[in-house]
Amino acid sequence: MQSIFNDQQEESALSIIRRTMQVFLADDGTPMVSFAMNKGKGSGAQSMPVSEFRDYVGTLQSISMRGLPEEESVERSAAEMVRHTIKQEDGVISFRISSGKGSKPAKVSAGEFSSVVELLRETVDAVEGAAESIS
């Protein structure tokens, strides 16, 4: 038996982030950053205040270097939500940056995780600069 979809390649998380990352002002004037890491059913953009982005990326970088945390955290910032929700199943690392109805996890292959974190780390200054220019 052969799948009829064998010739379709999945788009990498790096490519999706590069295509979707944007900085904008929320309705209340808060500078926000938004990007997706995956596409398809059950996926959605990660969106957070720019003021939380550096800590969020730092948290992902720490996890990329040290491994997934053992204990849960109850903090509410984007970085703390990552610490609280991150998990790995079937070679895919997933996590959320918010909770509640409609909250979708980011999903990235374990093999691509450190490259995704590095790409996000490289965007921190540009994201913060863009937020300053639109504020």
The amino acid that residue 7 corresponds to is D
* pLDDT for residue 71: 55
- pLDDT value at position 87? 92
Main-chain phi, psi angles of 13, to 5 degrees: -60, -40
Q: What is the DSSP string of 58-70?
A: HHHHHHHHH---S
Dihedrals phi, psi of 55, to nearest 5 degrees: -65, -40
Query: For residue 1, what pLDDT is reported?
Result: 46
Amino acid at 117: V
CA distances from 102 to 5, 31, 75, 123 (A): 29, 21, 19, 26
Q: What is the per-residue pLDDT for 99?
A: 75
Domain map (residue ranges) of the chain: 13-134
Q: What's the pLDDT score for residue 90?
A: 93
Question: CA-to-CA distance for 114 and 105, rounded, in angstroms?
Answer: 17
**At a CB cut-off of 8 Å and minimum separation 6, what does 39 contact?**
11, 16
Are 127 and 18 a contacting pair, CB within 8 Å? no
State the Cα–Cα distance between residues 7 and 129, nearest whole angstrom. Answer: 40
Greatest alpha-carbon pair distance for the chain in Å reads: 57
- Per-residue confidence in pLDDT tens, the chain, 135 aa: 444 455 456 788 899 999 999 999 999 999 999 998 888 776 778 899 999 999 999 999 998 998 876 655 444 688 888 888 899 999 999 998 887 777 788 999 999 999 999 999 999 999 999 999 997
pLDDT score of 73: 41
Q: What is the pLDDT of residue 37?
A: 87
pTM check: above 0.85: no
Q: List residues bridging with 107 in a β-sheet.
A: 94
